Structure 1
Amino acid sequence: MTTPSPSRGLTPSVIAEPAATTAETPASSHPHHHADANPTGRRLALLTLTALGVVFGDIGTSPLYTLQECFSREHGVPATIPDVYGVLSLIVLSLTMIVTIKYVTFIMRADNKGEGGILALLALIMQRRRRDDDKGSRFVLISLALFGAALLYGDGIITPAISVLGAVDGLKVIAPALDRWVIIITIVILFGLFSFQRSGTERVGRMFGPVMLVWFATLAVLGVAGFRHHPEILKAVWPGYGVSFFFRHGLHGFLILGSVVLAVTGAEALYADMGHFGKKPIRLAWLTFVFPCLLLNYFGQGALLIAHPEAAANPFYLLAPRALQIPLLVIATFAAIVASQALISGAFSLTQQAVQLGFVPRLDIRHTSHHAAGQIYIPEVNQALALGCIVVVLFFKSATALGAAYGIAVTGTMAITTLLFHVIAREQWGWSPWKATAASATFLLIDLAFFGANVLKIEQGGWVPLAIGVALFTIMRTWKEGRRLLWTILQGRTLPMSMFIEDVARKKPMRVNGTAVFLTSHSEGAPVVLLHHLKHNQVLHEQVVLLSIGVADVPDVDERETLVVEELGEGFFRVRATYGFMQQPNVPDLMKHLNARGVKTRPMATSYYLGREQLIPSGPGKMARWRKMLFIFLSRNARSATQFFSIPPNRVVELGTQIEF
């Protein structure tokens, strides 16, 4: 006989298909997690300043390397007057269409109880699609979202590397003799950044806003100062310059889009971090401050290039007077660290969603703030990102080389977000087919143009985020399929609870004082671990709780409102608890809520029974053997249920068994 094991890779909510994770469950948001829906006054100003530091760090450091890439000797165009106007026109058009219109105006409307991000968007779509809907479309939508999420991890590896490396590259301008130290200094900064993560972002968060406020103000001042070289550069806002650029350069002009897209990297962060700050502060910060400052700096760099084409080697740093280049290097480095922190925190939040939605095995999720639920630290993810960043810095050695690897992850995720947006517009907002198609087709055309320009650079480094994305997508799909396979096998071996209780009433086994809690993935039927316990120990507690934990398709729920208690007789209770996909289950706290529902428990008189399974890949399960081996590896390395559910280790009893699947 087999038993599900919540103690390792299989948890009560992890084996079960997320049908246990229902969207119809009544939910209420936790006020400590989401920002105010409509903040005003000082609260709005504070949220806007905080969002300035966290949300816009990535896109705010793009001026460090975007124009440098567009006019680089390796794959750029000469810094002639028509081409400078053309590239600037494309940058303005990209920032307007992708960030301002697509994300700020439309995509941010698609929130899941205030939460944003590609997995939150997927959960929102799944709420509208029941399990008897077309399985083919469900598979496609889930696969698209998972691959987009996987690409974001590639973005999370490359962003800290290119941001910090792009900032430290200023040493080549200030002191060319220090060129050989750029890589070493970059690695030291990255090592310090990732080492600091265990302390949480709350400390450094206090300085995020002011640092980025100074940074964007510096961008604007440098840009305005650069206008003296060529004030007519402001005419580059006209899209016609970008169109004529394509006519002049043909295919090579199309390839330049692979560098232009660096100007909009970080647009996805506006959506992903929406749950922490709300729509209003993010929109206010972008429209009134960030967008204008970015445009001014790009125009200033463009004016400099027209007057001094040789400045294409590093137009950002050469825009500043020599006496200010060292302070600018310091500010740029701090801004790059902030940009890196934003992506790292985003990777933590994305991983937490993936764990709760059942796409990733349980990990060690540590909350680093008593006030902000979104501030978490995941050691495994932090270590993987740190190693990945250092490896790509050593491999590519320059921001220019990294630029080729960067764009494909960003544009791939943007295109997938557009496709999911189309589904939301049709199914949730009730848009007509022509209206939804017109909007999504326009966005998708732009996304695919950028993606196509980057695909042609796969050999130059674009394969890196693709390889990361494919690997993580394979892991997520394998974990999901493995859970489904085990759930199917175990469901067929579950004894009906009515039959089990009748047997207990008839045989009357010995009962002992206290409460036994059996965590189970099945909301119906007797857990196999319970059958094993009775078979081998020939005893039952006077009170037995069968606890099933599910995850809803919404970020937060009040577990007290969604808690369902059913008395089965003979001292048995069926308990179903539901959490949001941004919440961390806590079983001891949950047990306290049961006292008000008629299930009297005492912490020191409560024992928790878990199963520890040994998976054997020789069963009839329809999954390739290598995927079964991968699933077994993931299961063995998953965080224990004792830790994940915050169960006191000295109150846990484990029963082992084998499962062939």
Structure 2
Amino acid sequence: MTTPATAAVRAQDRQPTPREAPTPAGRRRSAVKAVGPILAALGVVFGDIGTSPIYAASTTFGIDTRTTGGPAPEFVLGATSTLIWSLFLVVTVLYVRFLLRTDNRGEGGLLALFGLLRRSSLKARTVGVFTVVAMFGAAMFLGDSVITPAISVLSAVEGLEVVQPGFARYVVPAAFVILLGVFALQKFGSNFIGRLYGPVMILWFAALAVSGAASLGLDPSVLQALSPTWVVRFFVDQPGLAFLALGAVVLAVTGAEALYSDLGHFGRRAITRAWLFVVFPALVLNYLGQASLALREPSKAGTSFFGLVPSWALVPMVVLATLATIIASQAVISGTFSVIHQAGHLGVFPRVKTVHTSSESEGQIYMPAITILLAVAVLGVVVGFRSSASLASAYGIAVTATISITSIIYLAFSWARGRRWTLRMVVVSAILVLVLAFLGGNLPKITSGGWLPLTLGAVAFVVMATSWVGLRRIAAGRRLNEMPLDELPALLGGGGAVHRVPGDAVFITRSPGVVPIALRTMVTQNHALQERAILLSYKTVDVPTTRGLPHRISVTSLGDGIVQVTAKVGYRESPQMTALLTEAAHVDDGCLDDFAASRAVFFISTPVPRYNRGSRMLKWAQMLFLAMDRLAPDPLDVIALPRDRTIVVGREVPL
């Protein structure tokens, strides 16, 4: 079957003609290498958007309540055409065609795009404005991450009602137990269950395509919905219903952000091919099949997904749908960990204890505190709303807000790069208008459930904004207590003799141009210092990883046994001080001869925030920041310092 995306990546898929004909074994190896990333992408990236057919079409058809028997034929055709073309424009054009090509050293997602914008030529004040915008977008993503697992699992388990209406009372308990198990497995890392992702999702998309095609064969007239003229007729003939339908149509594009945020894990080519040649055709076939069923039997429009399945296959389909929604939930939870981890390194979210579950992939992480908070929120939503239909009203606002902000930051970045009004920016701007229309179509649902993601997003935004402001004030306070580095010789030579003792001392600081507070305290209070003092500073830069980046680590001798080491760390990396020093010892010009991190003594200056009555920072914001600071992980754990050889020097900093 031909879809609207037939030629979207033909150009990028062309390969140069090989000079020598490959052998059969070589062709097999090449095929495995090409298919492997696609299978992995199918198993993780498309879990959310791939399970949307369970509830998107039936919710959309339910908007038309003019007749008691079900939606009118013209409504079904118009809504289906709007749904399919929304998938094409938002996912295929915006994300696959444009956003996937805008990566931050191979990484994607809202915060990665924001990192690119921060490195652009925009003025500091303008970047500050977009910092607030990016925080709001990330906050709405976090709000969406609470709703997605709940609605996905509930919609799948509700298939039990189709099997046997008496099973309805088991839906909520079953969803509760399944989600509890999903969160309990987080500590083992996504690889623990990731091996099953690809095969399950291949089976899932095959089931979507087959069930949709079988229904489509019974009434092929629904194929006319592929024409965009039905979208125009829909909004001209039924403007009120069409506007309301947008609030449900947007459910079909949920999970689009995952294509971009998971770019670093699987690469653009694998995600693009998986979408265009597997996921998108399967989704289109299934949505057309559900529309065909709604035309033939309007009374089944409310359960159009499971209505496609014959009675003998209902139970297997419910099981398969449940497995697919578990995968969708896992993908969203992993995405939440990544967003919070990145936001912490970018200075817009408080640091949270992070456990790396893989020695090979930096992005596979587990956050115990976030897991507990997310589990409580998701399970509370399941118990409170009790059905996917109730949650559908709460779903669209967070999705459309996130896509809108991603589009806005993309346009700002393109403008800052000097592209101005190119065809690309015109197309993205037009799609942004469409997404804003989706957002407008969801506004009437605020009272019936839309308040939930807004509330969750508002809480996350307040936390992020408070952390951002508080950290900036602490940085300003630290600068007042630190002396410039060029005054270090006078410090070592004045105020009495400084006794130099054997060994190495490593002083950790975030700024390479200042004397660490701990060093100043050692000299002025103890009048002693090790023979070699290493001033180690690191800076989190707006790239995901600095591995392979030129001048990642630099070593400079300042004389009198003082060595300065500066390092750059990506926002997805955890700074490992001993590893950085070991690497520095291999790149220096002799300043760190015979250095061994296992023998060195480490000093770290830790600011202790204090409530400030005269501060411009609001009282409640100061109290919130102080509470978050108490819950923050130990800085020794964050930068991996040996506890038995580390001395912490605290200094109060008023907010």
TM-score (normalised: structure 2): 0.91
Given candidates 100, 106, 109, the residue that maps to 2:92 is 100
2:516–2:605: 8 Å Cα contact kept in structure 1? no
Q: Which residue of 2 aligns with 1:117?
A: 109
Q: Does residue 448 of structure 2 align to residue 460 of structure 1?
A: yes
How far does residue 418 in structure 1 lie from its aligned partner after superposition? 1.2
Instruction: Give the secondary-structure state (helix, strand or coil) at the position aligned to 2:372.
Output: helix
Q: Does residue 467 of structure 2 align to residue 479 of structure 1?
A: yes
Q: Does residue 206 of structure 2 align to residue 217 of structure 1?
A: yes
Given candidates 546, 552, 570, the residue that maps to 2:560 is 570
Go from structure 1 to structure 2 and tell me whether the alpha carbon gap of 1:50 and 1:436 turns closer, same or farther (over 3 Å shift).
closer
> Aligned equivalents of 1:625 and 1:530: distance in 2?
33
> Aligned equivalents of 2:604 and 2:425: distance in 1?
50
How far does residue 502 in structure 1 lie from its aligned partner after superposition? 2.4
> Aligned equivalents of 1:457 and 1:272: distance in 2?
27
> Aligned equivalents of 2:653 and 2:46: distance in 1?
48
Go from structure 1 to structure 2 and tell me whether the alpha carbon gap of 1:306 and 1:349 turns closer, same or farther (over 3 Å shift).
same
Q: Which residue of 2 aligns with 1:431?
A: 419
Instruction: Give the secondary-structure state (helix, strand or coil) at the position aligned to 2:515.
Output: coil
Given candidates 341, 347, 357, the residue that maps to 1:358 is 347
TM-score (normalised: structure 1): 0.90
> Aligned equivalents of 2:305 and 2:66: distance in 1?
16
Q: Which residue of 2 aligns with 1:657?
A: 651
Given candidates 116, 126, 129, the residue that maps to 2:118 is 126
How far does residue 619 in structure 1 lie from its aligned partner after superposition? 5.8
Given candidates 42, 62, 71, the residue that maps to 2:32 is 42
Given candidates 175, 190, 193, the residue that maps to 1:201 is 190
Given candidates 541, 550, 556, the residue that maps to 1:552 is 541
Q: Does residue 627 of structure 2 align to residue 633 of structure 1?
A: yes
2:63–2:244: 8 Å Cα contact kept in structure 1? no
> Aligned equivalents of 2:278 and 2:197: distance in 1?
16
Go from structure 1 to structure 2 and tell me whether the alpha carbon gap of 1:555 and 1:657 turns closer, same or farther (over 3 Å shift).
closer
> Aligned equivalents of 1:489 and 1:124: distance in 2?
28
Instruction: Give the secondary-structure state (helix, strand or coil) at the position aligned to 1:577.
Output: strand
Q: Does residue 610 of structure 2 align to residue 622 of structure 1?
A: no
2:189–2:364: 8 Å Cα contact kept in structure 1? yes
> Aligned equivalents of 1:531 and 1:621: distance in 2?
27
> Aligned equivalents of 2:238 and 2:63: distance in 1?
16
Q: Percent identity over the alignment?
A: 38
Q: Does residue 580 of structure 2 align to residue 586 of structure 1?
A: no
After TM superposition, the structure 1 = structure 2 runs for residues 255-654 of structure 1, keeping only pairs within 5 Å, are: 255-428=244-417, 430-433=418-421, 435=423, 437-506=425-494, 507-558=496-547, 561-596=551-586, 597=588, 598-599=591-592, 600-618=594-612, 620-654=614-648
Q: Which residue of 2 aligns with 1:15?
A: none
Letter of the 2:563 counterpart:
F
Q: Which residue of 2 aligns with 1:24?
A: none
2:504–2:532: 8 Å Cα contact kept in structure 1? yes
Alpha-carbon RMSD = 1.9
How far does residue 135 in structure 1 lie from its aligned partner after superposition? 3.6
1:70–1:256: 8 Å Cα contact kept in structure 2? yes
Go from structure 1 to structure 2 and tell me whether the alpha carbon gap of 1:445 and 1:338 turns closer, same or farther (over 3 Å shift).
same
Is the deviation greater in 398-407 or in 647-656?
Answer: 647-656
How far does residue 279 in structure 1 lie from its aligned partner after superposition? 0.7
Is the deviation greater in 531-540 or in 175-184?
Answer: 531-540
- 1:16-72 Cα offsets, whole Å, 9 max, x none, are xxxxxxxxxxxxxxxxxxxxxxx9632221001110111111010001001121123
How far does residue 551 in structure 1 lie from its aligned partner after superposition? 0.9
> Aligned equivalents of 2:488 and 2:309: distance in 1?
79
Q: Which residue of 1 aligns with 2:173?
A: 184
Letter of the 1:464 counterpart:
L
> Relative contact order, CA 8 A, sep 6+: which one is greater?
1
How far does residue 531 in structure 1 lie from its aligned partner after superposition? 2.0
> Aligned equivalents of 1:479 and 1:366: distance in 2?
21
Letter of the 2:229 counterpart:
G
How far does residue 656 in structure 1 lie from its aligned partner after superposition? 3.1
Letter of the 1:441 counterpart:
S
Is the deviation greater in 163-172 or in 624-633?
Answer: 624-633
Instruction: Give the secondary-structure state (helix, strand or coil) at the position aligned to 1:259.
Output: helix
2:120–2:413: 8 Å Cα contact kept in structure 1? no
- 1:138-192 Cα offsets, whole Å, 9 max, x none, are 1221111111111111111111111100000101111111111100110100000
Letter of the 1:505 counterpart:
G
Q: Which residue of 1 aligns with 2:21?
A: none
> Aligned equivalents of 1:626 and 1:569: distance in 2?
48
Go from structure 1 to structure 2 and tell me whether the alpha carbon gap of 1:419 and 1:637 turns closer, same or farther (over 3 Å shift).
same
Letter of the 1:608 counterpart:
F
Instruction: Give the secondary-structure state (helix, strand or coil) at the position aligned to 1:582.
Output: coil
Instruction: Give the secondary-structure state (helix, strand or coil) at the position aligned to 2:184.
Output: helix
The size of the alignment, in residue pairs, is 619
> Aligned equivalents of 1:84 and 1:608: distance in 2?
68
1:491–1:522: 8 Å Cα contact kept in structure 2? no
How far does residue 258 in structure 1 lie from its aligned partner after superposition? 0.5
1:426–1:436: 8 Å Cα contact kept in structure 2? no
Letter of the 1:601 counterpart:
F
> Aligned equivalents of 1:555 and 1:250: distance in 2?
45
How far does residue 76 in structure 1 lie from its aligned partner after superposition? 9.2
How far does residue 445 in structure 1 lie from its aligned partner after superposition? 1.0
How far does residue 75 in structure 1 lie from its aligned partner after superposition? 7.4
> Aligned equivalents of 1:109 and 1:304: distance in 2?
38
How far does residue 431 in structure 1 lie from its aligned partner after superposition? 2.6
Q: Which residue of 2 aligns with 1:160?
A: 149
Letter of the 1:167 counterpart:
A
2:483–2:515: 8 Å Cα contact kept in structure 1? yes
Instruction: Give the secondary-structure state (helix, strand or coil) at the position aligned to 2:195.
Output: helix
Is the deviation greater in 545-554 or in 501-510?
Answer: 501-510
Instruction: Give the secondary-structure state (helix, strand or coil) at the position aligned to 2:180.
Output: helix
> Aligned equivalents of 1:388 and 1:212: distance in 2?
27
How far does residue 245 in structure 1 lie from its aligned partner after superposition? 2.3
> Aligned equivalents of 1:348 and 1:465: distance in 2?
18
Instruction: Give the secondary-structure state (helix, strand or coil) at the position aligned to 1:492.
Output: helix
How far does residue 415 in structure 1 lie from its aligned partner after superposition? 0.8
Given candidates 65, 73, 88, the residue that maps to 2:55 is 65
Is the deviation greater in 75-84 or in 117-126?
Answer: 75-84
> Aligned equivalents of 2:251 and 2:484: distance in 1?
58
Identify unmatched segments of 5+ residues in structure 2: 1-28
Letter of the 2:397 counterpart:
I
How far does residue 434 in structure 1 lie from its aligned partner after superposition? 5.5
> Aligned equivalents of 2:164 and 2:491: distance in 1?
83
Go from structure 1 to structure 2 and tell me whether the alpha carbon gap of 1:214 and 1:76 turns closer, same or farther (over 3 Å shift).
farther
Go from structure 1 to structure 2 and tell me whether the alpha carbon gap of 1:490 and 1:383 turns closer, same or farther (over 3 Å shift).
same
Instruction: Give the secondary-structure state (helix, strand or coil) at the position aligned to 1:462.
Output: helix
Letter of the 1:50 counterpart:
A
2:64–2:71: 8 Å Cα contact kept in structure 1? no
How far does residue 79 in structure 1 lie from its aligned partner after superposition? 1.8
> Aligned equivalents of 1:73 and 1:361: distance in 2?
42
Is the deviation greater in 404-413 or in 347-356?
Answer: 347-356
